[in-house]
Chains A and B, each alone.
Chain A
């Protein structure tokens, strides 16, 4: 018996249509099209899933579930650590929702996909401008996997054995890097820091950096928010051993901070989420990936790269995927990476964001963030027993807050803030960096109002005053 469901997403799920089509094929039942599947592999029951729901019920059901969440819109949240709250201009959402972009696939047919291709070329170009690098790809999954790919790219270039990373690095980023390089048998060595400033220990770096070093990686701003001020010296030490210098960035800092391309970076990775992408519970994110323009580096780059070209008759400019011979669909097991689906729509959002901000906007964004986080640090450090920041260094938007002298764990402080004051504190890093004591990582960006920062200070004061209860 032929059945029919008539679902709005499935135009031919009408009995009459099916019968017509089956007659054309010469079958009486759609099941005949599965006749070649051995009986023992045919599922003899329905999947154990809910019954179909009309749209209204889907909406009600999902919204009811999601309304159980609290978001940065319901309460002040001072979390960063790899994914940061920023304002997303309405233009960004509005354009990203354009169905011509949203519902298109990877632009395998460039002539009919010029819109996305040009937007991706513009994204790459804008990333090159803010990082002062020559070439950027059109996206990696996120900062962490981008770092993994950057080190794999570096080892293809120099075939060495060790990669040096700072001890102060996001633990998830380090874990991802380990996963990406484990099959290659590379060694990841951590370089310690100056306990007073948090900055990389240059003596240790000099000792460890050798002709076995594939690459030296630093983050600027660092995971704990301070700015690594010795980048030029680090570049020199790295290049002295002919290793590659990989720099990880938060792009919102690049209107204020010197871009990595001006202090010797060979490869730049970073998180593009802050440039016009919502947090979305940590995904999708956007891996930035840029490199110097040497041909040998470009040839080893992972990921899709869009290039400018002309029509075959040379009369018009156009855009298409370039250097596809690096990619898996052409090169297969010899590809520079397996990446295929990337984060194109997030790059579109970032291109929009950078175009809206312009040079002045990006500078003001960095200044605003630095100013607000600096006033927050000042306010919090006035609370008795609280130290903010732990390190005596300039910070960008995140900073450490230490509660050693408060007599409460970070967890206790945070629960009190959340429960009694409706404020979400920073990330507890007491277990990640036990040597820093009872410490949390707070984040303040342009979205945090002066009132919210003041409220945080007052709430913390009250939580701390309650003593060890």
Chain B
């Protein structure tokens, strides 16, 4: 196998609260002038004594050098896109262009309440980006405010609420429909917005069961949340009938944009009949995910819903030829966060679209689909793994395999396979999702991977299959080449042993083992 030797660093690094030495410091503040000493005393004596902090916080005392070395060591025990293949399904872990980080850094010291005359540059970028996103999604107007995809979903569900309320029938519209293959955020967001979640099953092709959907809709239906292509990577070909079914009962159709990448420039959610669309900037537009965030989750809507968007939107004043923050929206649902959105993320997306252009976005979509289908084809002969649902149909951005047979025949589960993949210097696919597939391994290669790396992944999967049949313990004991072996996740969550802060650790001291 043209494998590579991989050994992640393992530093046994102590918890930072248990490091350092008295009096050390990593940062000094500008000194106060002598004649400002008196105000220090005044400032502090102006406070009632009972409000002063008596015992300093137990923060570590560290020199700058120690802080740097600690965190660099930690960074070496972390795997990112820049290290290699990251086929985490539905997460679209594509390459994050360096130029985008560079250009975004000049935003650092701009305050959101600055006079509009001093921020025309950033307003122009945001205005143009929102227009571009509207063009890409086929929607009428885009709000850049949501901080993440899930917040976009919450906003989307709130817009449904606002629309039904405006039409005077919110009391009746209590149900939100989601397919059983939906991302977990869909039902969670719908519930937050006050809807009762109605789940519709998938059909034998892994798509929305039209019959079941028709049975589920009624005058209580507020809307349907759907991702297309769905979480199996299959395009919902019945989308016209689905849209009609929902619109016939005056429900709204919501597009979960987690899977937008494969249809960029090819198909637009708005054209398929979706009324509300969220976009995961950190997936589709290549902004770094930062180990969990920040992301950005703009929402695009059809014309009828624009009046409900949160304030402010970014406007352009033709008369004075300037951009401005538009708060004049009386039907707006209000605000879902402070200020205007995750601007540093949005500027990166602007640069990304600028680099790829219309042609490049389409190329990205097509190549991501080509890569996924190539993997699907090459992996389909791997012993123990099978492709559930619609074998003959092409996938879009991702493909989902089931390790059910492997589990039955060798006792090796999808989880074990995922851990073993880490040993070969790659990140694992998403596991156990979508819920309609047993022992699921959800693989999204994205367009940011060369053919040789795809072939290497196929070889790794084949090797693991062989290992499972010949020496299952090897796979079950994985990983061995990364910073730690398999972790006890039950212990981390059990009421008797959960240790969620250093303070809790000092109180309870229940994590026995070598705590450095």
Contacts and interface: CB of A to CB of B under 8 A. Distances in A.
Contacts of B95: 9
Interface string B8-33: 10001101110010001111111011
A313 B447 CA distance: 39
Interface stretch (B208-216, B403-411, B466-474, B495-503): B495-503
Contacts of B235: 34, 36-37
B487 A320 contact: yes
Given A12-B451, A81-B113, A358-B60, A51 B192 contact: no
B67 A355 contact: yes
17 contacts: A5-B359, A12-B450, A38-B239, A55-B355, A58-B354, A104-B80, A110-B489, A134-B500, A184-B194, A279-B110, A281-B112, A282-B343, A330-B184, A334-B191, A356-B27, A356-B67, A375-B39
Contacts of B501: 121, 124-125, 128, 134-136
Interface in A274-298: 278-285, 293, 295, 298
Contacts of A104: 78-81, 289-291
B488 A309 contact: yes
Interface stretch (A112-120, A235-243, A458-466): A112-120
Contacts of B83: 99-100, 103
A43 interface: yes
B492 interface: yes
B436 interface: no
Contact of A110 (B67, B93, B147, B487): B487
Contact of A100 (B82, B117, B161, B361): B82
Contacts of A67: 106, 121
Contact of A116 (B27, B106, B115, B291): B291
Interface residues of A, number: 210
B315 interface: no
Contact of A49 (B73, B76, B340, B361): B361
Interface stretch (A169-177, A187-195, A200-208): A169-177
Given A139-B293, A328-B150, A339-B150, A68 B124 contact: yes
A118 B78 CA distance: 10
Contact of A424 (B115, B239, B448, B489): B115
A340 B488 contact: no
Contact of A119 (B71, B115, B493): B71
B314 to A, nearest CB: 12
B32 A51 contact: no
A219 interface: no
A7 B108 CA distance: 29
A65 interface: yes
Contacts of B192: 152, 183, 337-338
B374 A43 contact: no
Given A284-B294, A374-B46, 4 more contacts: A100-B80, A285-B339, A310-B487, A357-B26
Q: Which 6 A-B pairs have the closest CB atoms?
A: A282-B339, A345-B290, A183-B194, A282-B112, A344-B292, A115-B78
A358 B450 CA distance: 45
Contact of A144 (B96, B337, B433): B337
Nearest to B294: A284
Contacts of A267: none
A155 interface: no
A233 B158 CA distance: 37
B17 A65 contact: no
A256 B106 CA distance: 32
Given A46-B359, A126-B59, A359-B59, A85 B194 contact: no
A310 to B, nearest CB: 4
A95 B71 contact: yes
Contacts of B130: none
B357 A424 contact: no
B463 interface: no
Contacts of A319: 487
Nearest to A298: B500
A49 B194 contact: no
Contacts of A324: 493
Nearest to A81: B113
A342 B148 contact: yes
A47 interface: yes
Contacts of B495: 295
A357 B184 CA distance: 39
A143 B82 CA distance: 32
B504 interface: yes
A103 B288 contact: yes
Nearest to B452: A11
A65 to B, nearest CB: 5
A181 to B, nearest CB: 10
B342 A283 contact: yes
Of the listed residues A32, A53, A138, A365, the one surrounded by the most CB atoms of chain B closer than 10 A to its CB is: A53
Contacts of B112: 82-83, 279, 281-283
A34 B369 contact: yes
Contact of A352 (B67, B266, B362, B492): B67
B511 A317 contact: yes
A21 B451 contact: yes
A229 B343 contact: no
A278 B354 contact: no
B114 interface: yes
Nearest to B162: A182
Contacts of B433: 329
Nearest to B348: A62
A104 B507 CA distance: 32
Contact of B147 (A7, A36, A141): A141
A100 B81 CA distance: 8
Contact of A183 (B148, B193, B351): B193
A368 B121 contact: no
Interface stretch (A71-79, A210-218, A380-388, A401-409): A71-79
B196 to A, nearest CB: 8
B302 interface: no
Given A227-B51, A374-B43, A135 B79 contact: no
Given A257-B52, A307-B499, A361-B27, A344 B511 contact: no
Interface in B263-322: 264-268, 271-272, 280, 282, 286, 288-295, 297, 310
B61 A43 contact: no
Contacts of B168: none
A85 B350 contact: no
Contact of B377 (A24, A175, A182, A354): A24
B16 A113 contact: no
B340 A363 contact: no
A11 B97 CA distance: 13
A91 B68 contact: yes
A255 B57 CA distance: 7
A68 B116 CA distance: 11
A39 B41 CA distance: 76
Given A49-B132, A134-B504, A105 B292 contact: yes
A25 B374 contact: yes
A283 B370 contact: no
Contact of A62 (B28, B32, B293, B350): B350
B266 A30 contact: no
A139 B488 CA distance: 23
A104 B59 CA distance: 27
A419 to B, nearest CB: 9
A468 interface: no
B43 to A, nearest CB: 4
Interface string B235-270: 101011000000000000000000000001111100
Interface string B85-112: 0101001011111010111001111111
Contacts of A280: 107-108, 110, 343-344
Contact of A343 (B46, B70, B147, B184): B147
B366 interface: yes
Contact of A179 (B86, B335, B483): B335
B371 interface: yes
Contact of B78 (A101, A293, A372): A101
Of the listed residues B27, B151, B191, the one surrounded by the most CB atoms of chain A closer than 10 A to its CB is: B27
